[in-house]
Copies of this chain bind each other. A is one copy, B any other.
C-alpha cells in the first residue's frame, strides 16, 4: 500500500492518529520537502516515528517515482506531505498538485493500492483570519521575481475575484534546493539556501504590478490580511492596507496573504478589526469601499 499522508501545518504532532499508524507500519518513509515546511525538521520526525525518513526532493518525486513505489504492492510505503496531500500550500501550486497526482497515477498504473490520509491545509486553516471560506474566490500563487522574469498573470485572477467582491488567498513562493544559473550551467550540484517569500516581498511585488497594470486591483489602499505561520503556536495575523503591511515584521516562514474582497460581511469586518494595525484607517476604508 502507498500511503499519502498529510502532516498538517505545524509540528510532528499534527499528523493524524491514522496517519501515524500508517507511518509506523511502513517499511520506507519519504518526506516531500520542496513545496512546504513544518516547524520541525527531518530529525524530529525520525525521532517521533522511530524510523528513518528519506527526503524526497522535486527531482526524486518527478523522475524517480518508481524508486518510491518499489515493492509497494507488497509492503507499506508512506509518502509524507506537509499540509494536505491534495491541498496546495505556500508554493507554486500547480507543480505541487501535479507531482502528487502523478505519483498516485503512477501507483495506479502499477496496480499499487493507494490510501490518502487527509489533513489540514492552509486553504481551510486560513479561515482563522476571520474571513469566511465561502467568500473566497480562486487561490493564487505569487512567485519570486527575478531580474528577467516578473510573471504577473495572477493579477488577472485577483481581478476576477475582486470584480465579484471575493477574497483572494495568495500563497507565497518557496525556493528549496535551487541551483544558481552559474552552478546549473556548470553542472555543479551546489544548492542555494532555501528562500521563503515574506508578506513584505509579496506586497512589494503586488504594488509593482499594480503600478504597471493600473487596473485598480491591488493598490496601496487595498485591505489585506497578512497571515504568518497559520496553525502554529506563533501564528501571527495582521490586517491593514497593502502599504501598511509592506513594513510589518511577520517573523519566520511560512507567510501567506489574503486580499479582502468587498463582499466582506459586517461580521467578518468586526472579527478582523481586532487584527488591524490601525483600526481607524480600517474602519474608514471599510465604510467607503466595502459593503459591510
Write the A100-127 contact mask toward B (1 if CB under 8 angstroms, else 0).
0100010010000000101111011111
Q: Which residue of B is nearest A123, CB measured? A: B124
Docked pose: A126 CA to B124 CA in angstroms: 12
* Interface residue range, chain A: 35 or more
- Is A138 in contact with B140, judged by CB distance below 8 angstroms? no
A97 contact from B12, B18, B127, Cβ within 8 A: B127
Closest B residue to A11 using CB positions: B18
Chain B residue, CB-CB nearest to A235: B116
Q: Are A84 and B21 in contact (CB under 8 A)?
A: no
**Is A13 a contact partner of B18 (Cβ separation < 8 A)?**
yes
The CA of A119 and the CA of B127, in the complex, are separated in Å by 12
Residues of B within 8 A of A105 (CB): 271
Q: Is the CB of B138 within 8 A of A137?
A: yes
Least Cβ distance of A274 to chain B in Å? 8
Residues of B with C-beta under 8 A to A17: 12-17, 20
- B86 lies within 8 A of A128 (CB): yes
The listed residue (B97, B118, B138, B160) touching A120 by CB distance below 8 A is: B118
Q: A130 — which chain B residues lie within 8 A by C-beta?
A: 101
Residue A240 is within 8 A (CB to CB) of chain B in the complex: no
Q: Is the CB of A8 within 8 A of B13?
A: no
Identify which of B16, B93, B101, B141 contacts A271 (C-beta below 8 A). B101
Q: Which residues of chain B are within 8 angstroms of A94 by Cβ–Cβ distance?
A: 132, 134
Q: How far is the CA of A231 from the CA of B121 in the complex (A)?
A: 14
By a CB distance below 8 angstroms, the chain B residues around A124 are 83-84, 86-87, 118, 120-121, 123-124
11 extra A-B contacts, CB within 8 A, seeds A15-B17, A85-B127 = A13-B16, A13-B21, A14-B17, A14-B18, A86-B126, A94-B132, A101-B271, A119-B120, A134-B141, A137-B138, A160-B164
Q: Which 8 A-B pairs have the closest CB atoms?
A: A86-B127, A118-B120, A87-B124, A121-B124, A13-B18, A13-B17, A84-B124, A118-B125
A-B contact pairs, 22 of them (CB 8 A): A6-B120, A8-B16, A9-B118, A11-B18, A12-B17, A14-B17, A15-B17, A16-B17, A84-B125, A86-B125, A86-B126, A86-B127, A86-B128, A88-B133, A93-B132, A93-B134, A97-B134, A98-B267, A116-B128, A116-B231, A120-B120, A134-B138
